[in-house]
Amino acid sequence: MQRKIIQDARVVTFGLGWVGGFAYVVADAAGLVAYDVNLAGFPTLLGVVYLITFAVGMIRYR
């Protein structure tokens, strides 16, 4: 069961990173991003998303 929880958390995190990263690149290319974003915060955001989805999975499959 632990493997399923970890796999679900990784899938959600990967999906968010892929969609969020692609959306940022497209918005930046279109000139919609007015300020320069510090990319060091992106892995931190993905880590927080992973921890949240892991916790939700632990509660869900309890």
d(CA 30, CA 26): 6
Per-residue confidence (pLDDT) for residue 8, from 0 to 100:
95
Mean pLDDT across 3-19: 95
pLDDT digits (tens, 9 = 90+) for 14-46: 999 999 989 988 998 998 888 777 778 889 999
d(CA 30, CA 52): 32
pTM score of the predicted model: 0.81
Structure tokens at 29: 């290319």
